[in-house]
């Protein structure tokens, strides 16, 4: 097994466990305000310091990890399902159906994804649900192309011809034979997509169009760092470090899997 894959999986597992068990690990509530601890630097009482309202930064980062990772995983789940469905139909049926779906993919790729998400969020309003759905609905094109290419190379293989000869329906062939044998590259794309989704969510929250306070996410924790960077460096360092480590973990895992499937 590739070293990058092992390191990536370890990072993802550690982050996931810490996020899941945040209520048991954290000594404070994420929204607990302490007027006596405003902008306190890292210490034994507050390992990563406090913010402008005296809230424990470590607690907010760990709780924010639950939100950021959940949005990334669910958004990529939505994108993967859509991509698999459309890519499978395009690859299996071909002809005008393939052309129609691929032209729609090309149309979606013409729009800058982040600006498209910004526009939709501005119209629908920022919320956790909206962000998950919007990222999912604007991130499926790569998966569709991947699985279409895999199915185009598989559908003329002997085991698919044998399934046709036995009278298997197109739906059965797609679900039982084509998709399971095409899932490797899709899995790699999904893992890399989670890192991309976490980064998008952080960017949206930083701009005030993502997760709204007082619910913590890594992006909206960074908002406070803009005005306090000169006196409270920890507000920028630690959330940014968690974002960096998360993206690094998923990228290492995705790259390791990609090399494994080559």
| Whole-number pLDDT of residue 73 | 92
Q: Are 193 and 139 contacting, i.e. CB atoms less than 8 angstroms apart?
A: yes
The whole-angstrom separation of Cα 205 and Cα 224 is 12
| pLDDT tens figures, 116-127 | 888 888 788 778
Q: Are 140 and 89 contacting, i.e. CB atoms less than 8 angstroms apart?
A: no
Q: Provide the residue ranges of all domains of the chain, joining segments of one domain with +.
A: 3-18+57-261
The whole-angstrom separation of Cα 146 and Cα 158 is 21
> Domain 3-18+57-261 falls in which CATH fold?
MetI-like fold (1.10.3720)
Buried b (16+ CB within 10 A) or exposed e, 170-193: eeebbeebbbeebbbbbebbbbbb
Residue 191 pLDDT more than 80?
yes
| Whole-number pLDDT of residue 75 | 92
| Whole-number pLDDT of residue 245 | 93
């Amino acid at each position: 097994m590739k070293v990058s894959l092992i390191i990536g999986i370890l990072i993802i597992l550690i982050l996931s466990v810490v996020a899941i068990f945040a209520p048991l690990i954290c000594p404070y509530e994420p929204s607990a305000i302490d007027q006596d601890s405003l902008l306190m630097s890292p210490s034994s009482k507050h390992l990563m310091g406090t913010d402008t309202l005296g809230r424990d930064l470590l607690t907010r980062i760990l709780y924010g990890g639950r939100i950021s990772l959940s949005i990334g995983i669910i958004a990529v789940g939505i994108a993967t399902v859509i991509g698999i469905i459309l890519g499978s139909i395009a690859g299996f049926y071909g002809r005008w159906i393939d052309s129609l779906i691929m032209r729609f993919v090309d149309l979606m790729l013409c729009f800058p994804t982040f600006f498209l998400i910004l526009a939709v969020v501005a119209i629908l309003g920022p919320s956790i649900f909206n962000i998950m759905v919007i990222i999912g609905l604007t991130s499926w094109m790569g998966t569709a192309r991947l699985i279409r290419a895999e199915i185009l190379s598989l559908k003329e293989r002997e085991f698919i011809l044998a399934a046709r000869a036995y009278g298997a329906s197109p739906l059965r062939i797609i679900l039982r034979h084509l998709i399971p044998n095409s899932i490797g590259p899709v899995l790699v794309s999904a893992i890399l997509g989670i890192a991309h989704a976490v980064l998008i969510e952080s960017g949206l929250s930083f701009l005030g169009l993502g997760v709204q306070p007082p619910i913590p996410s890594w992006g909206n924790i960074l908002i406070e760092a803009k005005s306090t960077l000169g006196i409270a460096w920890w507000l920028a360092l630690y959330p940014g470090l968690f974002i960096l480590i998360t993206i690094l973990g998923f990228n290492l895992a995705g790259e390791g899997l990609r090399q494994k499937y080559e």
